[in-house]
Amino acid sequence: MQEASKKEAQRIAIGMIAGLALGLILYFTGLGHVVDYMKPIGDIFISLLKMVIIPLVFSSIFMAMYHLGTPESLGKMGVKAVIYYFMTTAVAVLVGIIFVNLINPGVGADLGTAGLHGLNEGMQAKVSQNSGGWFALYNAVKEVILNAVPKNPVQAMAEGQILQVIVFSILFGMVALYLPKESEPVVKVINSLEKMSLFLTHGIMKFAPVGIFVLMTGVLAKSGFSAIVSLSKYMLTVILGLGCHGILLLFIGSWKSKKSPMFILRGIGPALITAFSTASSAATLPITMANVEENLGVRKDTAKFVLPLGATINMDGTALYESVAAIFIAQAYGIHLGINQQLIIFLTASLAAIGAAAIPGAGLITMSIVLSAVGLPIEGIGLILAVDRVLDMFRTTVNVFGDSVGTLVVDSMLDDSDLKDDVEAVATT
């Protein structure tokens, strides 16, 4: 890791710790409202990151596609990435299901659901019949696939639909390969766009310590500590599960890439802290790309393609959280879930995570897919709402960590012959 990156990581860490400390002070002195005056700074930081996502993702994927030389090379990388991402998502859900069944955070939880016993019997019947189950699963798969294909690339970019932008960039990059002469001017422009977007990302990162400081202050100064206490067992289950999955990922990443765990953690430290404070994998993406390319030694073409894909479809933290939350809600309502229902939760939680947008609170929205698939009441979401933001910070960190480790692993599985290194020349001549 270069000296400059090290200093940058230190400044970001200081921003986070100072923000947490100030947030606590403001909360306990009853001055939480002061945060309202600081909030615009945090908002500007997030907007700046979002501003650079689309030009960066479009140009990076286009250039990666162009560099790869053939659709087959992209295919090799893409298949490896998708298989790895799906497998780790499935493992994450499994870890969540194991932890929630071991800890049983919802059993006997006093969340105002005790008076609903008559109602609960009706719900239990609905759950036992598996109402909605497999059909809901089919619908979820269909939605994910349909949502990936853009009707209008400009609209996809304007709306920040990253998966659609990825699909368009791949197709456009592929066309450039087939029409090398005609595409030459466009390739040059997009190559410049990529360089400029990266440069801009570095500029925005200089502002990160201040942005993160403000965002962290806001989280603690305005947090509802009472909700945290009554939902502490549930939160603990999610956080323990996330920690366990994170360690597993670190082990896999270190083993496959032959790099030390400390090297990996240090290298992507700034991205992890940004993920924690923004609760958005998409907003963090520019920083994740810079960290993985520059600090982890991943080959550029792998990082450019595999990371944006991961940020959109790979959300281990969200997947784990969805399974814990759904089973917690069932427990809180006193509803028993059999193996069949837990299997449906396993599948739908994986899909809900794949389909969730990389923005704050997206996992909470796609929870409805999981709940309705097993016939649990959607209102159950209300039980966990109060602490969702805090858990979002933890799960987004694991999401970003999963994407980064995934890129490292996929890169280590590719031969040099799969990637062309002399391409800079092609694009810039």
Q: Which residues bind ligand ASP (CB under 6 A)?
A: 279-281, 315, 318, 356, 358-363, 392, 395-396, 399
- Comparing CB distances to ligand ASP, the nearer of 341 and 399 is 399
Beta carbons within 10 angstroms of residue 335's beta carbon: 25
Outline where 261-387 has alpha helix (H). 261-267, 269-278, 281-295, 300-313, 316-332, 339-355, 362-373, 381-384
Nearest approach, Cβ of 368 to ligand ASP (angstroms)? 13
Cα-Cα-Cα-Cα torsion 77, 78, 81, 83, nearest 10 degrees, comes to -120
Nearest approach, Cβ of 389 to ligand ASP (angstroms)? 10
Please name the helix (run of DSSP H) or strand (run of DSSP E) that holds residue 254, with its range, or none: helix 232-257
Nearest approach, Cβ of 395 to ligand ASP (angstroms)? 5
Under a CB-based contact definition with an 8 Å cutoff, are residues 233 and 105 in contact? yes
The residue whose Cβ lies closest to ligand ASP is 363
- Comparing CB distances to ligand ASP, the nearer of 388 and 418 is 388
CA distance 5 to 8: 5
Nearest approach, Cβ of 298 to ligand ASP (angstroms)? 20
Nearest approach, Cβ of 128 to ligand ASP (angstroms)? 29
For residue 280, CA distances in Å to 19, 102, 241, 273, 423 come to: 18, 29, 20, 11, 32
- Comparing CB distances to ligand ASP, the nearer of 282 and 337 is 282
- Comparing CB distances to ligand ASP, the nearer of 201 and 281 is 281
Under a CB-based contact definition with an 8 Å cutoff, are residues 390 and 228 in contact? yes
- Comparing CB distances to ligand ASP, the nearer of 273 and 356 is 356
CA distance 241 to 229: 19
- Comparing CB distances to ligand ASP, the nearer of 187 and 352 is 352
Nearest approach, Cβ of 357 to ligand ASP (angstroms)? 7
